[in-house]
């Protein structure tokens, strides 16, 4: 039995018309017609390229723009003149339709299915933000003029947007996909208030966990189980301290061990915060699925979102450890203690300029792994010794009836 895919809460369809197309003139004629809302079929003439999305709407908002929620007659005539100028100058007319899944829109508190009404003011404001985001990315924000209208329907509610340049700056109608994605994302983020959820996620990562680590020394007694691994990583870092960054390629062999430091630290001090992060990320992914749908085209919106945030946590936590290692290294000032430690650990000659980089990294990885395994074995041996002693003591106590 196949799983039913989630219908997208927001759908964006885009096309464009050149100045000689009938659709262009029909929109210009539509702008200032007083009887446009009453005439049967007038709505269908608005953006004829989108017949499938109009579906005989029984109610339409007044035209609105970047500056007005509802144009009066004088403003309509002025807007019509702008579109006529654009048409005469052979401007492209970009036509966008933002369509909503009504149950999703109602879930966001913007639609009342009982009386079929929409929070027009908020929808208009969100439309402005979305259009302006697209214009900014397309570098049309200084030359373009747009108008829009909200169309109501029992199956879907949609917004028609028309954009022109009175004095064209380009001949091509194609816009970057990234601009359209940003336009759609702005609608989703504003309608679902994703900023609050994303802020919560960022605070859990950066403030509650990473910032806490920055103030906590890995060499403190309470972190004694981390100290050997901390020092081992430190002693295998490249001599060039500019490379002491988590994403630096020369640190690739050390990343699993830096991640181990982060994992152990999170488990010890931030297990609750980590569980909360996982829960919040799952909720965010679920909301993104509902907003964008589960089709292949939009999977990139959420498919890797959770893992990317987990990776961000480990990157930031790793850099916190590396920054601490920088401070530790600076404090040592190459004292005799550091020299003796370096000799005892026999820093591998993996960063000599004469050695090929790939070979050097492989050699360092092998040497470090061997030392890391020895450390783990020693830890395991010590743990077993402690457990054996506890068991012997317990057996002794039982015999004596304690």
Contacts of 324 (CB under 8 A, 6+ apart): 214, 217, 218, 230
- Identify which of 392, 391, 241, 265 has the alpha carbon closest to the alpha carbon of residue 318: 265
What is this structure's pTM? 0.63
On the question of pLDDT at 41 being above 70, the answer is no
Question: CA 172 to CA 18: how far, in whole Å?
Answer: 9
Better-scored residue on pLDDT, 20 or 268: 268
H-helix or E-strand spanning residue 265: helix 255-269
- Identify which of 199, 192, 205 has the alpha carbon closest to the alpha carbon of residue 289: 192
- Identify which of 351, 371, 386, 380 has the alpha carbon closest to the alpha carbon of residue 228: 371
What is the mean pLDDT of the segment spanning 171-176? 89
Better-scored residue on pLDDT, 7 or 54: 7
Q: How many CB atoms within 10 Å of residue 251?
A: 22
Q: Which residues of 282-300 are buried (b: 16+ CB within 10 A; e: fewer)?
A: eebbebbbbbbbbeeebee
Angle between helices 22-31 and 73-88 (to 10 degrees): 160
**pLDDT for position 382:** 67
What is the mean pLDDT of the segment spanning 355-374? 59
What is the mean pLDDT of the segment spanning 183-209? 88
**pLDDT for position 36:** 44
Better-scored residue on pLDDT, 46 or 360: 360
Residues of the chain with pLDDT > 90, as a percent, come to 32
H-helix or E-strand spanning residue 343: helix 336-345
On the question of pLDDT at 215 being above 90, the answer is yes
Residues of the chain with pLDDT > 70, as a percent, come to 70
Under the banding of pLDDT at 50, 70 and 90, the label for residue 194 is: confident
**pLDDT for position 397:** 61
On the question of pLDDT at 38 being above 50, the answer is no
Mean predicted lDDT score pLDDT of the chain = 79
**pLDDT for position 6:** 65
**pLDDT for position 44:** 39
What is the edge-to-edge ordering of all strands in the sheet holding 93-101? 10-17, 93-101, 156-164, 145-152, 59-60
**pLDDT for position 369:** 65
What is the mean pLDDT of the segment spanning 13-29? 73
Question: CA 327 to CA 14: how far, in whole Å?
Answer: 54
- Contact of 348 with 363, CB cutoff 8 Å: yes
Contacts of 99 (CB under 8 A, 6+ apart): 10, 11, 12, 13, 53, 156, 157, 158
**pLDDT for position 345:** 57
**pLDDT for position 368:** 63
Question: CA 238 to CA 234: how far, in whole Å?
Answer: 9
Q: How many CB atoms within 10 Å of residue 118?
A: 21
Question: CA 345 to CA 368: how far, in whole Å?
Answer: 10
**pLDDT for position 57:** 40
Burial (0-12, 13-18, 19+ Cβ within 10 Å), 39: exposed
Q: Which two tokens stand for residue 77?
A: 């005539």
Q: Give the side-chain half-sphere CA count within 13 A for 201.
A: 22
What is the mean pLDDT of the segment spanning 214-221? 92
Q: Give the tens place of pLDDT for each residue, 126-167.
A: 999 999 999 999 999 889 999 888 887 657 888 989 899 999
Find the farthest-apart pair of alpha carbons in the chain and give their distance in angstroms, rounded.
Answer: 105
Under the banding of pLDDT at 50, 70 and 90, the label for residue 301 is: confident
Question: CA 219 to CA 325: how far, in whole Å?
Answer: 10
Compute the radius of gyration of the chain from its Cα atoms.
31
Question: CA 285 to CA 14: how far, in whole Å?
Answer: 26
CA distances to 198, 340, 348 from 374, in Å: 42, 20, 17
């Amino acid at each position: 039995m196949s799983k039913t895919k989630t219908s997208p809460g927001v759908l964006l369809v885009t096309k464009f018309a050149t100045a000689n197309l009938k659709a262009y003139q029909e929109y210009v004629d539509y702008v200032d017609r007083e009887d446009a809302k009453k005439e049967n079929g007038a709505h269908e003439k608005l953006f004829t390229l989108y017949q499938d999305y109009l579906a005989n709407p029984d109610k339409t908002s007044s035209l609105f723009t970047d500056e007005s929620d509802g144009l009066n007659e004088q403003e309509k005539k002025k807007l019509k003149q702008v579109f006529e100028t654009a048409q005469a100058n052979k401007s492209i007319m970009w036509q966008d339709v933002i369509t909503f899944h009504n149950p999703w829109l109602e879930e966001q508190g913007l639609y009342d299915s009982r009386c079929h009404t929409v929070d027009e003011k908020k929808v208009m404001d969100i439309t402005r933000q979305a259009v302006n985001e697209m214009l900014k990315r397309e570098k049309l924000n200084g030359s373009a003029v747009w108008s829009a209208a909200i169309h109501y329907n029992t199956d879907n509610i949609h917004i028609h947007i028309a954009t022109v340049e009175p004095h064209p700056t380009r001949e091509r109608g194609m816009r970057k996909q990234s601009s359209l994605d940003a336009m759609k994302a702005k609608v989703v983020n504003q309608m679902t208030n994703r900023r609050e959820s994303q802020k919560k996620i960022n605070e859990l990562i950066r403030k509650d966990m990473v910032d806490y680590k920055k103030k906590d020394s890995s060499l403190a007694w309470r972190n004694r189980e981390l100290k050997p691994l901390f020092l081992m990583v430190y002693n295998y870092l490249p001599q060039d301290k500019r490379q002491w960054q988590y994403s630096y390629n020369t640190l690739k062999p050390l990343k699993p061990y830096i991640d181990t430091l982060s994992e152990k630290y999170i488990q010890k001090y931030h297990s609750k915060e980590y569980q909360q992060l996982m829960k919040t990320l799952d909720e965010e992914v679920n909301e993104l699925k509902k907003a964008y749908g589960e089709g292949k085209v939009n999977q990139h919106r959420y498919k890797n979102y959770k893992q990317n945030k987990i990776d961000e946590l480990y990157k930031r936590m790793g850099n916190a450890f590396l920054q601490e290692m920088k401070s530790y290294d600076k404090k040592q000032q190459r004292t005799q203690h550091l020299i003796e430690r370096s000799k005892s650990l026999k820093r591998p000659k993996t960063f000599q300029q004469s050695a090929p980089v790939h070979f050097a990294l492989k050699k360092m990885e092998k040497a470090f792994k061997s030392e890391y395994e020895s450390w783990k074995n020693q830890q395991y041996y010590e743990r077993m010794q402690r457990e054996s002693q506890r068991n012997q003591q317990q057996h002794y106590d039982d015999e004596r009836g304690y």
